[in-house]
A and B are shown apart, each in its own frame.
Chain A
């Protein structure tokens, strides 16, 4: 079974701080998506990374796909309270399945 481990599981920081969330696997994925989920709602896509070594920026969020396409990271610069939520990574496999990470629950304090 393919697994995606996210770390940390929980993160509580002050507004303005930087943070990095990691998503690691021993398996290769054809692409990797990052989602954010708010309470009572389904996950919403933030970004998809496809090429090994790819870096994508979405305002204060920077996403990186590992060279070997087995891992990814999400870096948030100068976190805001609006960044609070559950962050999920999801890898697309070669067998038409998605494997989701265990999630990182981020709380940004004012």
Chain B
């Protein structure tokens, strides 16, 4: 089954304790992306990756890191989490970024992070 898998689904942790949220897709997609979703703000793009070893900042990259060493995996790293990073996080992938075409983003089911 084609899917985007995020882990963990839920995490409660404390300020400053490094954490990684994993994201894996089995569709051989080139474009992958991380978003955070906060009430009243919609989804905001944190980082995106056009392909292996190619990553770039989205609109809200502060406090986050990513890597893309393999095509299928795109982990999100919070080196020193803070309470303002408490949010619902989504990973998404698409075959490619085709702004002029039909390239739907496939989303994972989300990771709810609470940072105390």
Contact = CB atoms under 8 A, between A and B. Distances in A.
Interface string A1-16: 1001010010000000
Contacts of B58: 97
Interface in B47-104: 48, 50, 56, 58-59, 90, 92, 97, 99-104
Interface of A: 1, 4, 6, 9, 29-31, 33, 40-45, 48, 50, 88, 90, 92-94, 96-103
Does more than half of chain A's interface fall in helix, strand or loop, or is it mixed? loop
B59 A97 contact: yes
Contacts, number: 74
A18 B52 CA distance: 45
Range class of the B interface residue count: 20 to 34
Contact of B44 (A44, A92, A100): A100
A91 B104 CA distance: 12
A1 B108 CA distance: 26
Given A30-B100, A31-B99, A88-B42, 11 more contacts: A31-B101, A43-B107, A48-B101, A48-B102, A50-B102, A92-B97, A93-B99, A96-B99, A98-B48, A99-B45, A100-B44
